[in-house]
Chain A
Amino acid sequence: MFELPDALLLARIQFAFTVSFHFIFPAISIGLASYLAVLEGLWLKTGRGVYLDLFRYWIKIFALVFAMGVVSGIVMSYQFGTNWSVFSDRAGPIIGPLMAYEVLTAFFLEAGFLGVMLFGMNRVGKGLHFTATLMVAFGTFVSAFWILSVNSWMHTPTGWAINDVGQFIAAGSWMDVIFNPSFPYRLAHTMSAAYLTTAFVVGGVGAWHLLKNNKNVRARTMFSMAMWMAAIMAPAQIVLGDLHGLNTLEHQPVKVMAMEGHYQSHPEGAPLILFGITNSAQERVDYAVQIPKLSSLILKHDLNAPLDGLDTVAKEDRPPIGIVFWSFRIMVGLGMLMALLGVLSLYARWKRKLYDWKPLHRFALVMGPSGLVAVLAGWVTTEVGRQPWTIHGLMRTAESASPLAAPAVAASLVAFVVIYFAVFGAGVVYILKLLAKAPAAHESEPAHIPVRTAGITPAPALEPESIPGTKERGDGH
């Protein structure tokens, strides 16, 4: 155990790696489930085949993304115990029930209805099928609800007491635990981020196919829908982010100091540092490009409001400032670019050249993965910004880890990295191959495929021609 500090760092890297990998998949599938529900709803309402084609095009992607989200998620549900056993023991009575509710209300709901959603189009009526799609979309929301409640509680713990063996337990009402102060803001900000992530992926794919052939009505439709989302949701997300930030300032001011790069207190109004190099040794931001008093205006709505800096915080209670400072700027920068794309799309629409303006399509193509990067950057900002705590102000990360030897954690970390890149790399290649094909009229549908009621990852049935002997399956009726 003489190498324990190293084991702790390795465990943190391992958790960060596995959760970041995992987070990518639900970030897409949450938004994509809702997008599919919208497409099917529009198809039922208008009867236009283009919506059905798009539904069939994106549902193939959805199945793969969802599958990878599931298998990487199982790892997460055990890693609390393998690597953070002390945290699990002490926080288990609070976080355990919330996660158990996630399994019972969300995972089984998704598993139950996804099979019908994927293969039931010809088996159940249209209305029931649409219900299944809505249920899956609802399931992804319920899942996010519970897990973000757990996560928010770790940032802003409320409604707890300590029992005689040092565990956190519910002090009274579970509502105080579930609806802790940062939860509504985090839920809104994260859900909105998931929708934006999907919108930009869809927009990027639409732009790619428009660049190749701007007469493809399906590419046009998906691009147009994505650009509406960008135009509406990107500015809305900036507002939600601002509200979330103000909530963080109230409950976790140190995190905001790190995000802003405020090493010093500013009794007469703090500047907004746009860029600079954080220098924690000297406690200053080098080469800072800053706007005087703007930070006070944003955070306190008053140019001259005093803002405390990290100099008011003991060194051992500060998060790693450089990481938080930069990840925050990446997230905000991408958010601004997303809003810019949204505005440009409105301009193009007004000028009636949404489908002809190639620079816009190229911009949208480049911005395709921007949501994924922004989501991860935002996640890093909030999670690293919580350090050195696992439960903010109550339990330190250093006292949360399992008593493991460094070589054990190092070995598992290497295994995770190698296997995740190999396996999920292959999955991403399969997704990109599917996306490279333009959405076609009468996009292939699973004709006579079993209703996979329990199935959540039924790739084979989505492409029946890939299974030997399935082509002549069209007997039946």
Chain B
Amino acid sequence: MDIDLTVIWALIIVFAVFVYVVLDGFDLGIGLLFPTLEVGHERDTAMNSVAPVWDGNETWLVLGGGGLLAAFPLAYGVILSALYAPVIAMLLALVFRGVAFEFRWRDPGHRRIWDIAFTGGSFVAAMSQGIVLGALLQGIKVGGREYAGGWWDWLTPFSLLTGVSLVVAYALLGATWLIMKTEGELQQHAVRLAWKLGAIALVAVAAVSLATPFLEGAYFERWLSWPNILKVAPVPLLVAATAVAFVRSLRAGAERAPFLLTLGLFLLCFIGLGISIYPYVIPGAVTIWDAATDRSSQVFMLIGTVVLVPLILAYTAWAYWVFRGKVKSEGYH
């Protein structure tokens, strides 16, 4: 059987995006939670907990974007021009967030301003990414090989719902990350946040899941028609099971489980999105095969990817291993 490189490339891109979402997700979550932390010790500790890894995490965003251009150039062009405003907002927010991270330490006199930039940048970036997701799910108008809609099409109640949902989900990731990486009063604070955010996040997941099938006939067909419903039922059931486990882990005072279970929740949501969208890359308009690059390009890149991505993953894992354990405001020891 001939291996379908297009499917492989779709999986590679989805993988890169997923790695980005969970890795930068907790960085952005820390930024979102920053205002709830006490100035000084708590903020410094929270920031130190992501300081060594945030910029490496962001490189996955470049890989996701660059990979989409390389593997699905049509989708890259159409999606990014269709979602112009939220994408530009995200990029500028990430500029702010990224330098604020560094300038905060360099310029103690203006630390308050850079703290605001840090939180504001994280919020706008998270919200924009959620809006991008919602706008993609609700469909993009394509004419010929170009975007054919208006420049406000992305803004709907649904895309705002997904935007807010992702903000909450990132904040939850951030809170559970803090549970894992800190101790004492800050950790207790993070536990209290995780209870609230976990509840809101589950409501958000439910709301998006219930709204999605009614966006388009194809989604409804896939999720709610008989006998499809039997095949996809494990996803919501696993979400429910994860939620129960999450509650129990918080109650038991577990330190790592809440974070890992939140990651599991993200993974299940990702699988759910895949069930909705596949085999489209732009729902209802462009399939992965419509958008796929030339076979020669697929092969050329696959060689590099097969060799280099495992190396990158090994290195990233090592970086996290180096910084394992609890973090203090003074930095690592």
Contact = CB atoms under 8 A, between A and B. Distances in A.
A25 to B, nearest CB: 12
Contact of B293 (A79, A92, A416): A92
B188 interface: no
A441 to B, nearest CB: 23
Nearest to A111: B56
Given A94-B297, A96-B69, A430-B106, 13 more contacts: A75-B95, A82-B81, A96-B76, A97-B70, A105-B308, A163-B294, A405-B151, A427-B99, A450-B52, A452-B51, A455-B55, A458-B52, A469-B330
Given A107-B59, A404-B151, A454-B316, A77 B65 contact: yes
A22 to B, nearest CB: 11
Interface stretch (A29-37, A167-175, A264-272): A167-175
A359 interface: no
B200 interface: no
Interface stretch (A182-190, A220-228, A372-380, A460-468): A460-468
B316 A457 contact: no
Interface stretch (B83-91, B162-170, B214-222, B225-233): B83-91
B301 A71 contact: no
A72 B91 CA distance: 9
A70 interface: yes
CB-based closest 10 A-B pairs: A92-B73, A96-B70, A81-B80, A454-B56, A85-B77, A460-B105, A402-B81, A169-B294, A85-B81, A454-B319
A81 B329 contact: no
Nearest to B307: A104
A466 B109 CA distance: 11
A5 interface: no
A93 B146 contact: no
Interface string B44-83: 1000000111011111011101111111011011111100
B103 interface: yes
Interface in A65-109: 67-68, 70-75, 77-97, 99-105, 107-108
Given A97-B300, A402-B81, A461-B331, A167 B294 contact: yes
B269 to A, nearest CB: 23
A408 B52 contact: no
B51 to A, nearest CB: 7
B315 interface: yes
A402 B87 CA distance: 14
A454 B55 contact: yes
Contacts of A450: 52, 322-323, 331-332
A104 B305 contact: yes
Interface in A171-229: 174
Contacts of B81: 81-83, 85, 402-404
Contact of A170 (B61, B294, B318): B294
Nearest to B63: A103
B308 A455 contact: no
Given A419-B92, A460-B105, A403 B148 contact: yes
B223 interface: no
Contacts of B329: 468-469
B52 A64 contact: no
A96 B84 contact: no
* Residue among B70, B148, B293 facing the most chain A CB atoms (10 A cut-off): B70
A100 B151 CA distance: 29
Nearest to B330: A469
A99 B66 contact: yes
A459 B99 CA distance: 10
B52 A115 contact: yes
Contacts of B88: 82, 412, 415
Interface in A145-177: 163, 165-167, 169-170, 174
Interface string B305-333: 10011011001101100110000011111
B309 A85 contact: no
Given A88-B76, A97-B297, A408 B151 contact: yes
A20 interface: no
B52 A463 contact: no
Interface in B263-318: 293-294, 296-297, 300-301, 304-305, 308-309, 311-312, 315-316, 318
B248 interface: no
Interface string A405-427: 10110011001100110011011
Contacts of A349: none
A411 B152 CA distance: 13
A467 B52 contact: no
Contacts of A319: none
A467 B104 CA distance: 10
Contacts of A68: 99
B108 interface: yes
A457 B63 contact: no
A269 B294 CA distance: 47
Q: Is the interface of B mostly helix, strand, loop or mixed?
A: helix
17 contacts: A67-B55, A77-B69, A79-B91, A82-B88, A89-B76, A96-B70, A97-B293, A97-B301, A99-B69, A166-B145, A402-B147, A415-B92, A455-B53, A460-B102, A466-B105, A466-B106, A473-B331
A440 interface: no
A451 interface: yes
A104 B312 contact: yes
B102 A100 contact: no
Contacts of A459: 102-103, 105-106
B99 to A, nearest CB: 5
Contacts of A104: 63, 304-305, 308-309, 312
Nearest to B56: A454
Nearest to A63: B102
Contacts of A93: 73, 293-294, 296-297
Contacts of A402: 77, 80-81, 84, 146-147
A131 interface: no
Contacts of B323: 450, 453
A416 B150 CA distance: 22
A112 interface: yes
A70 B77 contact: no
A456 interface: yes
A408 B312 contact: no
A103 to B, nearest CB: 5
* Residue among B69, B74, B147, B148 facing the most chain A CB atoms (10 A cut-off): B69
A470 interface: yes
A125 interface: no
B92 to A, nearest CB: 5
A384 interface: no
B71 A96 contact: yes
A81 B77 contact: yes
A8 to B, nearest CB: 13
A75 B96 CA distance: 12
Nearest to A67: B102
Contacts of A457: 55, 98, 101-102
A458 B105 CA distance: 10
Contacts of B61: 74
B56 to A, nearest CB: 3
B299 to A, nearest CB: 10
Nearest to A401: B81
B65 A430 contact: no
A72 B105 CA distance: 20
